[in-house]
Each structure stands twice: as C-alpha cells, then as structure tokens.
Amino acid sequence: MPDRKLLASAKRVVIKVGSKLLQNSPAGCPAAIADEIAALQTGRRLQFAVVSSGAIALGMRTLRITARPDQMPMLQAVAAVGQRDLLSHWGNAFAAHQLVIGQVLLTYDDVADRRRFLNARHALEALFAAGVVPLINDNDVLAALTCNLLSADALIILTDVDGLHDAHGNRIPIVRDIARDAEPLAGGSASGSPGSGGMATKVKAARMAGRSGTAAVVVPGGSPRAVTRALAGEDIGTLFVPPADPINSRKHWIAYGRKPAGGIQVDAGARAALVDRQRSLLPAGVIAVTGTFGIGDIVALLDDQGIEFARGLTCYSSEEVGRIRGLRSADIAATLGYKYVDEVIRRDDLVIL
C-alpha cells in the first residue's frame, strides 16, 4: 500500500507502549522491543524514543492492588512504587544490547510553556546525539506531543488490540480522515483497567501527531516483531495518514500544547474570513468573550453556535477584547485610549482545528 511507505521511510520514531502489555509481561515486553530497536538502529540507523506508561500498572502489581485507584494521592503512591521497576526493566532490556536509556519525566506543563517546550526539545536532541534512547513516562496524548517535540516521522502505539475496528468488528487498515472515519468509532477506556486511555485517546493522539506531519499507527504489541513489520510497511494494525498540510512546531504548540485560558466567540462572517480566506481576527467579528486571559495567552475561538473551531494567541486581554468587540479597528484607540495592533488575533498566531 502506498500510504504504508510513510512508515517504511521513517527515520525518527516514537514508540508508545501500553500499560496492559507491560502488566502482562513486565520484563519480556521491554526485552522484545529493545531487541527490535537495537536491530533497526543498526540496520536502518533509525532513532527511537520510547514512551512508557506502565508505572501505575507495575505499582499495582507490586502492591497487589486489583483495581486502578481513583484518588490522585493513591495513584501517585502506586506510580512511585512502580517507577523503580519500570526503569529497571527497560534499563536491563537495552543494556543487553549495550544501549543506554535516559529517563525523561515530561509533564503537560513542559509542553504548555513555550520556553520549557524548547528546553525539553534541546535536551532530547542532546540525548539522541549521545546515542541514548530517551524513555518518557506518560500516556498516549503526551506521546503525540513528543512527536512534535522531536519532529518525529512516525508514532507507533503498541496496544493489546489489533487496531481500530469498524461497526462490524473488522479491522480498519488505513484511516485518511480521522474526524470522519475514526472518531465516531472510538470508544472510551475500559473501567478499572490499569491504563488511562482507550481507543479514543489513541485516535486523539494520532490526530494530534498527524497535524505535525507524523504518521501514526496502532499495532498489536503482542504480535512478533510488530515494530519491525510496521516500519517495513506491512499491513499491520491501523495506520492514520497525516494530512497533506501539516502545521509547523509553533502552531502545533498553539493548537495542543496548552489548555485555552478563555474563549472568543465570533460571528459567521468572521469565521468564514478565518477559515476560508485565512485572515486575521478583527474586533468587528467578535460577539462575546468568556474567561479571563491576558495578552499572549492561548484562547479558543468559538463560532456563533459556541463550537470551538480554532485557537490562537490573543493580542489583547479579555477585558480589552470585551470593550472593543464589534468595533472597527480604527475605533480601538478611541475606545481604549491606546492601540497595540489592528487585530485581536493575527493570522500567524492562529490555528484552525
């Protein structure tokens, strides 16, 4: 399949390992993946980062807890216990191939703040330059954000199912339009499972990764040589093809890096100008403001029905936007007593979702 060539030509790969795989085989799963990574690094000179979310699953195993805790203090305690075993299993697996891992504890705050985002990127690049395999401990969505951090070519999500299924239970080999063909089919996570994500989060991760140009594939982690087969372009799992017009790293950060501080609702004419004509947002098109935000904050743009369709960095605070909404740009100075720029959000600081 031509689309599978996206994986066959990948040079930098992020691998996400599901909690259930590690829970079922806490030592064997890392060993098998390390075997494949070592061979692919030697044969194709690929670079890999591993995102592993098994700390809670391993902590539950050690503490003999059968149901995932629903209170944050206990979740943190379980993860603290499991983190030691997680690092040990991965370290031993790669040490068998004379490869070194480097633990990277990324959080959403690290990707939400632009300066910390860039610091994390530089640190990860330094690990690659030293021949180290970064081991990042978190979940599906953070794996997608890591793809943007690393400018990765492929995201491989290893899980306990063989891909996304249609309404009749058949595996879907390739998805080209995630919103149309995948999101309606994706369900939530299983109650009581050690992991925090089901197929819905994997589809969300694939969409986020795709926006930065990364091809994502959900494959059965229990299948022999699943990573190697996926990167050879074989028909395994479900491939989510990235759009033809990916956005750059900065705009990806605007779209997904931080929760919006507030919202700006616009009329139909402004929405059409933003989406269809790629214009900036002017105060004349603003009809309402929600939340409290300052200059430079990320805000959600809502249509006249209240549905979010874009995000951007605002040039004015929520109080200022509230005062100039519906006005012409020429009237900003007279209303506020000053004017920064003509736009509420400039086109270069705007991402259509």
Residues 73 and 181 in one domain: yes
In this structure, what CATH number is given to the domain that contains residue 145? Answer: 3.40.1160.10
The DSSP bridge pattern shows strands 308-313 and 298-302 to be antiparallel
Residues 134 and 231 in one domain: yes
Which token pair is 293? Answer: 């935000």
Per-residue b or e along 201-212, where b marks 16 or more CB atoms closer than 10 Å to that residue's CB: bbbbbbbbbbbb
pLDDT at 226: 95
Residues 219 and 303 in one domain: no
Q: In terms of residue numbers, what domain contains 292?
A: 259-352
Q: Angle formed by the axes of helices 199-211 and 249-256, to 10°?
A: 150
pLDDT at 192: 36
Residues 39 and 137 in one domain: yes
Q: What is the number of domains present in the chain? A: 2
Provide the residue count of the chain.
353
Rg (CA), the chain: 22
In this structure, what CATH number is given to the domain that contains residue 315? Answer: 2.30.130.10
pLDDT at 187: 65
Total-model pTM: 0.76
Residues 181 and 263 in one domain: no
Residue 150 has pLDDT above 50, yes or no: yes
The domain boundary residue, chosen from 251, 284, 308:
251
pLDDT at 337: 93
Residues 176 and 323 in one domain: no
DSSP element (H, E) containing 72? helix 72-95
CA 265 to chain centre: 26
Q: What is the DSSP secondary-structure string of 87-156?
A: HHHHHHHHHTTT--EEEE---HHHHHSHHHHHHHHHHHHHHHHTT-EEEE-S-HHHHHHHHHHHT-SEEE
Tell me the pLDDT tens digit for each residue of 288-330: 999 999 998 899 999 999 999 999 999 999 999 999 999 999 9
Residue 111 has pLDDT above 90, yes or no: no
pLDDT at 239: 96
Instruction: Name every residue whose Cβ is closer than 8 Å to that of residue 148 and which is 6 or more positions away in sequence.
Output: 208, 209, 212, 214, 249, 252, 253, 256
Residue 49 has pLDDT above 70, yes or no: yes
Which residue is it, tokens 């195993």? 61
Tell me the pLDDT tens digit for each residue of 156-192: 999 989 999 998 999 999 999 998 889 888 864 433 3
Q: What share of the chain in percent tops pLDDT 90?
A: 58
Residues 330 and 219 in one domain: no
Residues 90 and 9 in one domain: yes
Residues 230 and 347 in one domain: no
